[in-house]
């Protein structure tokens, strides 16, 4: 592992840079990899956390000078190119009198979350904590004049919740030498000046003022050098050796991987160690008053099971108002998830990922020694056959109610007899007790193998955009509206699971009068030439779901995303159920 070795080396290098003014002054201990490994193990067992994006951007709340601003709320300063002189006046209005660390942390607890991560400083540069390093902070610059992070961190500790800070280490639109603001600061930046003047001192503050930090969540590494990043890492580990660092510190120097936002890998993803999916409850991180595009608790509970079955953690965001209130809709959703976890938590916390590869959206599986937890997300009818499970199943029962589930051998697997209707409206968990600790899985079904034919259901993808919707009854996505230079889209994350040429089929329905529009599927990375692309025409289907061949798509291990979208606006009546990739024989 790169970071461990470099951690030791850079400890020495840092001593040299420490002699500069404003830099950190104490000699650093080399890293203790054992402490990091223990912290990672604990983090892995947590599975579910609360993300909080809270800052000055909660005042405009998605609107600037009477105009609605598209996109994520905390980016409003950047989108509207708001001068520092103007944006910083928001601090004079920031007075979150309704903030309560007890209420926020209790909500996380009620939701079944085990850790909490809050923005200490986002890209706008404003510190939401008491900072001597910059006057631009909540104690010195607002009428509130208190440090909410003191109260929140203490309330978390009281409730046994792990606590961590988000910190934007490179982008800082308030600083001439921070990255991102070229409307106020067109001249060339000197990142080192910014790091020493603000980032290093503030990192020291957040690591010393709030007790134990379970992690620091860095973001958008951008242009910092490898050395600067190594210095940042060494500083964190020297002050709190057990504090984890996410991969968005940059230069491969994190302890665990961050997926993209709302980006869940299509297959079991264990090769690169621990990972976490940050996700929104609507379409924004920071509060936006008009964003009512709330995700369905069924979707979120299913995603939690999906992510945990693939080896990840789920970090689910709330965006409190400028008064300090978490939107009631967010609270309701989170408490619904918490009620499900009260009964079914055993199948989530401390579990191991699926021993089997992913074939469709009927179920996901998590495990503990001697037990398989089948999360049934789409009710399959009177029977559920699990092909490829060769273990002897001694007994099966529902986590809800505990009633026994009849089992019999079938083919190379097991068949379960199910009641007519789902046992739980969100995710019915069936526990199968097997002979021995580890399940026996038939060749071709293992988690490290990818099925030759892969059904990528719409539910597995990220539904990108404010208009796109998922419908459980028809298992399809619709609302592929175009806007400006982008479009609502269905985005899949292969994460190295695919490599080669695939024959593509699309399963969709379309009203006859809306037919004739073009769709495209692009496999690629942001800012690079696509690895593969197919295009096709949506045909009349009389509102019936049909499966049509779409051509051949090349996907490479480095392909970040497979994106489905519609190229024109004839899309209102098109419903996309799935894309099927079959490995081409030639």
- Residues forming the site for ligand JFZ (CB under 6 A): 72, 74-75, 219-220, 260-261, 278, 285
Q: Helix H segments across 47-118?
A: 76-79, 84-87, 101-110
Closer to ligand JFZ by CB, 205 or 219: give it: 219
DSSP class per residue in 20-57: STTS--S--PPP-HHHHHHHHHHHHHH-EEEEE--SGG
Closer to ligand JFZ by CB, 17 or 220: give it: 220
Closer to ligand JFZ by CB, 53 or 204: give it: 53
Question: CA 586, CA 583: separation in Å to the nearest integer?
Answer: 9
Closer to ligand JFZ by CB, 31 or 74: give it: 74
Closer to ligand JFZ by CB, 450 or 491: give it: 491
CB of 254 to ligand JFZ, least distance (A): 12
Q: Is 490 in contact with 564 (CB distance < 8 Å)? A: yes
Closer to ligand JFZ by CB, 285 or 480: give it: 285
CB of 260 to ligand JFZ, least distance (A): 3
What six digits make up the tokens of 254? 């994190």
Q: Helix H segments across 284-373?
A: 297-309, 328-344
CB of 285 to ligand JFZ, least distance (A): 5
Angle value at C-alpha 496, between 494 and 502, nearest 5 degrees: 65
Closer to ligand JFZ by CB, 532 or 560: give it: 560
Residue nearest to ligand JFZ (CB): 260
Q: Is 553 in contact with 521 (CB distance < 8 Å)? A: yes
Closer to ligand JFZ by CB, 74 or 255: give it: 74
CB of 107 to ligand JFZ, least distance (A): 19
CB of 112 to ligand JFZ, least distance (A): 21
DSSP class per residue in 463-485: EESSS-EEETTTTEEE---EETT
Closer to ligand JFZ by CB, 250 or 413: give it: 250
CB of 247 to ligand JFZ, least distance (A): 9
Closer to ligand JFZ by CB, 495 or 519: give it: 495
CB of 169 to ligand JFZ, least distance (A): 12
Q: Is 40 in contact with 274 (CB distance < 8 Å)? A: yes
Q: Is 211 in contact with 129 (CB distance < 8 Å)? A: no
What six digits make up the tokens of 57? 């951007």
What six digits make up the tokens of 352? 């191991």
Question: CA 522, CA 408: separation in Å to the nearest integer?
Answer: 43
Closer to ligand JFZ by CB, 228 or 280: give it: 280
- DSSP 3-state of 576: strand
User: Residues for the chain: how many in total?
Assistant: 586
- DSSP 3-state of 10: helix
Instruction: Give the gyration radius of the chain's Cα atoms.
Output: 25
CB of 565 to ligand JFZ, least distance (A): 17
CA nearest to 124, candidates 86, 74, 169, 85: 74
Residue 320 neighbours by CB under 8 Å, 6+ apart: 52, 54, 58, 96, 99, 104, 287, 326, 327
- Residue 453 forms beta bridges with which residues? 582
| 345 Rama sector, left if φ>0, alpha if ψ -120 to 50, beta otherwise | alpha
CB of 434 to ligand JFZ, least distance (A): 38
CB of 320 to ligand JFZ, least distance (A): 14
Question: CA 369, CA 431: separation in Å to the nearest integer?
Answer: 12
CB of 519 to ligand JFZ, least distance (A): 23
């Amino acid at each position: 592992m790169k970071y461990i070795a470099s951690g030791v080396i850079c400890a020495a290098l840092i001593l040299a840079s420490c002699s500069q003014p404003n830099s950190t002054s104490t000699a650093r201990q080399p890293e203790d990899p054992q402490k990091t490994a223990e912290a990672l193990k604990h983090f892995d067992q947590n599975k579910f956390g609360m993300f909080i994006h809270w800052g000055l951007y909660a005042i405009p709340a998605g609107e600037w000078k009477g105009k609605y601003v598209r996109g994520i709320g905390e980016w409003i300063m950047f989108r509207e190119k708001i001068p520092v002189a103007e944006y910083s006046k928001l601090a004079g209005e920031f007075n979150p009198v309704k903030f309560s660390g007890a209420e926020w942390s209790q909500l996380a607890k009620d939701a079944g979350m085990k850790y909490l991560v809050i923005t200490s400083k986002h890209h706008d540069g404003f510190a939401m904590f008491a900072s001597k390093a910059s006057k631009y902070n909540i104690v010195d610059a607002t009428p509130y004049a208190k440090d909410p992070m003191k109260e929140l961190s203490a309330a978390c500790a009281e409730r046994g919740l792990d606590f961590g800070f988000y910190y934007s280490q490179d982008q800082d639109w308030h600083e001439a030498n921070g990255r991102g603001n070229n409307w106020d600061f067109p001249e060339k930046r000197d990142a080192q000046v910014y790091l020493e003047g603000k980032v290093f001192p503030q990192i020291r503050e957040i690591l010393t003022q709030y007790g134990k930090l379970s992690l620091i969540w860095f973001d958008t590494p951008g242009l910092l050098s490898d050395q600067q990043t190594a210095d940042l890492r060494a500083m964190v580990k020297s002050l709190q050796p057990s504090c984890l660092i996410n991969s968005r510190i940059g230069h491969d120097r994190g302890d665990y991987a961050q997926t993209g936002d709302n980006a869940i890998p299509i297959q079991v993803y264990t090769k690169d160690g621990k990972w976490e999916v940050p996700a929104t409850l609507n379409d924004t991180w920071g509060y936006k008053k008009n964003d009512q595009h709330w995700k369905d608790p069924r979707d979120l509970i299913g995603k939690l099971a999906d992510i945990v079955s693939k080896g990840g953690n789920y970090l689910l965001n709330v965006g409190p108002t400028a008064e300090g209130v978490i939107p009631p809709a967010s609270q309701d959703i989170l408490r619904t998830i918490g009620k499900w976890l009260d009964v079914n938590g055993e199948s989530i916390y401390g579990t191991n990922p699926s021993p089997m590869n992913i074939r469709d959206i009927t179920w996901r599986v998590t495990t503990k020694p001697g037990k398989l937890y089948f999360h049934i997300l789409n009710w399959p009818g009177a029977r559920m056959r699990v092909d490829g499970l060769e273990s002897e199943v001694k007994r099966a029962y529902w986590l809800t109610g505990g009633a026994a589930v009849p089992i019999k051998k079938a083919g190379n697997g097991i068949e379960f007899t199910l009641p007519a209707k789902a046992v739980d409206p969100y995710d019915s968990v069936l526990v199968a007790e097997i002979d021995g600790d580890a399940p026996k899985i038939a060749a071709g079904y293992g988690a490290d193998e990818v099925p030759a034919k892969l059904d990528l259901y719409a539910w597995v993808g990220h539904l990108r955009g404010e208009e796109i919707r998922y419908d459980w009854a028809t298992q399809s996505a619709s609302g592929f509206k175009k806007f400006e230079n982008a479009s609502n889209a269905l985005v899949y994350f292969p994460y190295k699971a695919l490599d080669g040429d695939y024959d593509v089929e699309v399963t969709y329905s379309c009203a006859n009068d809306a037919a004739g529009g073009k769709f495209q599927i692009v496999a690629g990375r942001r800012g690079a030439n696509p690895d593969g692309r197919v295009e096709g025409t949506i045909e009349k289907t009389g509102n019936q779901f049909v499966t049509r061949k779409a051509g051949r798509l090349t996907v490479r291990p480095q392909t970040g995303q497979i994106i489905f979208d519609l190229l024109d606006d004839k899309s209102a009546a098109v419903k996309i159920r799935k894309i099927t990739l079959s490995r081409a024989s030639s």
